[in-house]
Amino acid sequence: MRLSAPIFRLKRQARLLARETGLPLHDALNRVARSEGFRTWSELAAAVPRRPAAAEILTRLVPGDLMLLAARPGHGKTLLALALLVEASKAGRQGFFFSLDCTEIEVLRHLRSIGADPKTSEGAFALDTSDDICAGHIVERMTGTPQGSLAVVDYLQLLDQRRRNPELGAQVAALRAFTQAKGSILVMVSQIDRAFDLQGKALPDLSDVRLPNPLDLTLFTKTCFLHDGEIRLDAVA
């Protein structure tokens, strides 16, 4: 679907609408999205460009990679992560989507929004929305999978929400060790701190990642930041 204006201009419209009407920004964004034929801003932000972007990003991921995929709410990070799994399945690679945030119904709706057939995609990768998701659970599910298998964790900041789970830093370190030892690829969806919206930067960076608990971000081998339809993929120095 063709948009009536570039996505950054549509977001500007939403900000003006929020100021003029007193609506919360996320409601204003969703109202603009509905005027463009989408149900939510996240669907609008990701519907057209994500599939080609996902294919390109997938070519730059190698066995052993642990990638941070981060954006503010409504900028398509979950949709891009699902598009990566769809592209991986086309290449015959095994995939997993571990979500502590989305229900199965929401995942299937997201797949439709990026033009994927839920019936086909659902069988192309394993969908896990259980409350047991943590590093140990992920490693157990992925043990024995072929090299180059791709997993998405949705999302980073929820991994240690249960007190019985290890600290976030310990879990990410365990997942980094697993991906390197087994040659898997793991993409971890992440939140960006709200303060980013006040800084005037075009894209977030590692300094903007929301960290309620300590975490060494150099454990990641690559980062992928999204904002207003722009995407930047970098190696972590």
200: pLDDT strictly greater than 90: no
pLDDT tens for 60-90 read 999 999 999 999 998 889 999 999 999 999 8
Distance CA(11)–CA(29), nearest Å, equals 7
Say if domain 49-235 classifies as CATH 3.40.50.10240: no
Residue of 55, 50, 45 whose CA lies nearest to 6: 45
16: pLDDT strictly greater than 80: yes
- pLDDT of amino acid 8: 67
* Cβ–Cβ under 8 Å, residues 46 and 7: no
- Give the helix, strand, coil percentages of the chain, each rounded to 5: 45, 15, 35
- pLDDT of amino acid 175: 98
Query: Mean pLDDT over all residues of the chain?
Result: 90
- pLDDT of amino acid 229: 77
Q: Is 95 helix (H, G, I), strand (E, B) or coil?
A: strand
- Sketch the domain layout of the chain as residue ranges: 7-37, 49-235
